[in-house]
Amino acid sequence: MNSSNSMTPLEYAKMILEKVSFEPKIFKKELRKALRNSSKRDFKHLMNWCRERFGKKK
């Protein structure tokens, strides 16, 4: 596989979350999955990105 075409797990998670953001139930499921499979550094980055991009849900 050409490295210029590959995605990091973090980039992939962001892409999926963008695509399912219209449906809260699916978004929550995919976010949990992404967080469960991420490193500590990526976990923090993903949480911050979600807050900035989608806002904090109550």
pLDDT at 5 (0 to 100): 72
pLDDT tens for 2-58 read: 455 799 999 999 999 999 999 999 999 999 999 999 999 999 999 999 999 998 654
> Position of tokens 């949480």?
47
**Contact yes or no for 34/46 (Cβ under 8 A):** yes
Give the global pTM.
Answer: 0.81
Domain locations in the chain as residue ranges: 8-54
pLDDT at 1 (0 to 100): 46
Q: What whole-number distance in Å separates Cα of residue 49 and Cα of residue 40?
A: 14
